[in-house]
Amino acid sequence: AYLAVRLRGAGANTRGIGARVLATHPAARGATTQLVEQQPTRGFQSSVDPVLHFGLGTAPRVASLVVIWPDRRMQ
């Protein structure tokens, strides 16, 4: 299973570039937390899809999802 997250930022940063997303989900031994940063640019003339992906293994859902925006606000 996986979770796909598409960020919608405010103002000029509508894709949420620079935001960090923390996903916590149950795992075989306790809980697992994954951190992904929204950086769709990878180099000179190179970019990737702006959708963030979290692999959940056998977990059916996430326990918590936290977005830390570039201005340090949290949701």
d(CA 44, CA 25) in angstroms, rounded, equals 35
Each residue's pLDDT tens digit, 18-50? 999 999 998 878 889 999 999 988 788 888 889
Distances from the Cα of 53 to the Cα of 45, 50, 62, angstroms = 22, 10, 12
Query: What DSSP element (H or E) covers 42?
Result: strand 41-43
User: Which one, of 70, 55, 74, 75, lies nearest residue 11 by Cα?
Assistant: 70
d(CA 40, CA 18) in angstroms, rounded, equals 9
pLDDT at 51 over 90: yes
Each residue's pLDDT tens digit, 62-73? 999 999 999 999
> Could you tell me which residues are beta bridge partners of residue 26?
31
